Amino acid sequence: SLLVAYVFLSGISLALRGRNRNLESEENLSNLSNLRNLASKENVRPTYDMSCPLAMIEYIHVGQKIPEAARYSVQSGAQSVITEALESDALTDRKIIMIGDSNMRQVFSSLSCIAHTAGFWKDDNAYTAGTVPGYYPGMYYDARLNLKGGLGEVFYSPTAGNIQNYGWTRDTPLQGNEDWLQNCRDRKPFYLDTYTYDAPNVGQTYSENDDRFEKVLLGGKDVVFINAGLHLNARDQNMVHLLELVDCMKAFKHDGEDPGWPQIFYVRSNQQHFNNADEGGAFPINRNGPTTCLESVDIEKNSFFRQDKATFQGKLPMVGFDLDLGGVGKLHIGMGGRLDCSHWAMPGVPDAYAREIAAAILTIGLED
């Protein structure tokens, strides 16, 4: 693949690591130094850092409570559960597809980077990421990771199967030609349009005749983890599309006409802590007002959480719904030009989501 370097106009210096890496800003380097000092005193070692090729500088060691986020990551047990899933046969020859907005991207990054720390990548170049020039260095919409020893692959593909969109306008994720709902109606297998491992780590416009892309066949061993996202202009329609797909698959499976479709799990929506306690922190009343996120909210008041359960309980296996995230508001990014009480400092809460996905994969492995 081509080596890619970005020049970040705000003064962040960049360097190439592998095919596409970036150095931390001075602020992040300071945060990293503080975190390492804490680690030496309290035996709290970050589960991953920017040495992971799929880590993102906009999240790693960024936030108001970085040491606390790192401690949460360690105490979550994510590294142990993910390592157990990787050491078992649960992932062998299996493709894991993660579909969702930028919160799901954080979970994909967490899972990938913990696997990197544990030495389960095929090698440091065994990935492709469709990064977005002109944004945070190394920020990507689509990504693909090859694990070692036949352990399979992990994909982050926000628009896989043409099931979801998020109203993103500035830059868009890879838009392939696959249509899982139509494939279901036609009783045909599902495919994933994605980048090849030889593609440059820069987002491209999809074309079937371009050797930077390939169609990946999905089968009965493969697993899709999906969330409808938190973008109000698209979330309800995403849910409608997913329900249509689930009902179609169920009907044809009942009639014995399943050509080998992947399994689908629904992942609990991200927990926000904006200054709206009456809605469980789900909606920002005024993002330019408070300078910190609410430390604690009642998750049962969160409309996204309630909608998830009402829509998919009994329809799909659910992942992450036992997570108690009401009291971890201080672990969000928080500060910045706009208050961010949606994304998380990393390592941190996304590792708990990644742990839940790994636990689900382990369960599938036991059932095979």
The overall pTM is greater than 0.85: yes
How many other CB atoms are found less than 10 A from the CB of residue 30?
12
pLDDT at 4 over 80: no
Structure confidence at residue 292 as a pLDDT band (50, 70, 90)? confident
- Cβ–Cβ under 8 Å, residues 78 and 46: no
Task: Tell me: cis bond preceding 67? Omega within 30 of 0 counts.
Answer: no
Mean pLDDT, residues 228-255: 95
200-236 as b/e, with b when 16 or more CB fall inside 10 Å?
Answer: bbbbeebeeeeebbbebebeebbbbbbbbbbeeebbe
pLDDT tens for 293-345 read 999 999 999 999 999 999 999 999 999 999 999 999 999 999 766 789 999 99
Q: Which pLDDT value is given to residue 288?
A: 61
pLDDT at 248 over 60: yes
pLDDT at 35 over 70: no
Q: Look up residue 296 and give its two tokens.
A: 């604690």
Between 30 and 108, the higher pLDDT residue = 108
Q: Which sign does the torsion angle of CA 270, 147, 91, 47 carry?
A: negative
Mean pLDDT, residues 250-270: 96
pLDDT at 152 over 70: yes
pLDDT tens for 170-202 read 668 999 999 999 999 999 999 999 999 999 999
Q: Look up residue 162 and give its two tokens.
A: 């043409």
